[in-house]
Amino acid sequence: MSVLDIHVLGSPVLRQETTPVAEITPELQRLIDDMFETMYAAKGIGLAAPQIGRRERMSVIDVDDQRFVIINPEIVLAEGKQKAEEGCLSIPEIYGDVERATHVVVRATDREGKPFELDATELLARCLQHEIDHLHGRLFIDYL
């Protein structure tokens, strides 16, 4: 595994729409493993493919020791509102309060290509919304 370079604000790829993943390949799984390694090295709780300069529609997340790979994720339910401070590995040293849904249900595909549904609240719900935003070129500073 290897630690990849994280793209920071100003890199065009952060503002581009991603492309849905059509097939789970060994190369894609290696990329997922590298994304986890990169995220842990940077002490983050989530990392989306555009942050390492890639266009695949996928992110990795580790909140409270729960690890998730979300490939082609979709938010199918969002309810409630919570405001809390957010940061981003691609926007160093900037933090701000962002309003997000308290509860989300996300439909995605996992590292093995199996579809699953994730029912999340609080920090995990916030992280999911932040990482899914990345896959559509949106950054948390857009809400400030």
DSSP state of 1: -
Report the nearest approach of Zn ion to the CB of residue 114 (Å): 26
Report the nearest approach of Zn ion to the CB of residue 110 (Å): 21
Report the nearest approach of Zn ion to the CB of residue 11 (Å): 12
Pick 24 or 132: Cβ nearer Zn ion: 132
Residue 117 to residues 53, 72, 106: CA-CA distances in angstroms?
27, 12, 6
Chain position carrying tokens 């509102």: 81
Q: Give catalytic status of residue 99 as yes or no.
A: no
Instruction: Tell me the CA end-to-end span of the chain in Å, nearest whole number.
Output: 36
Catalytic-role residue among 27, 56, 117, 131? 131
The continuous run of DSSP H or E covering 29 comes out as helix 26-41
Pick 24 or 57: Cβ nearer Zn ion: 57
Pick 8 or 22: Cβ nearer Zn ion: 8
CA distance 74 to 94: 27
Report the nearest approach of Zn ion to the CB of residue 90 (Å): 5
Give me the residues that bind Zn ion (CB under 5 A), please. 88
CA distance 13 to 69: 20
Give the active site residues.
Answer: 131
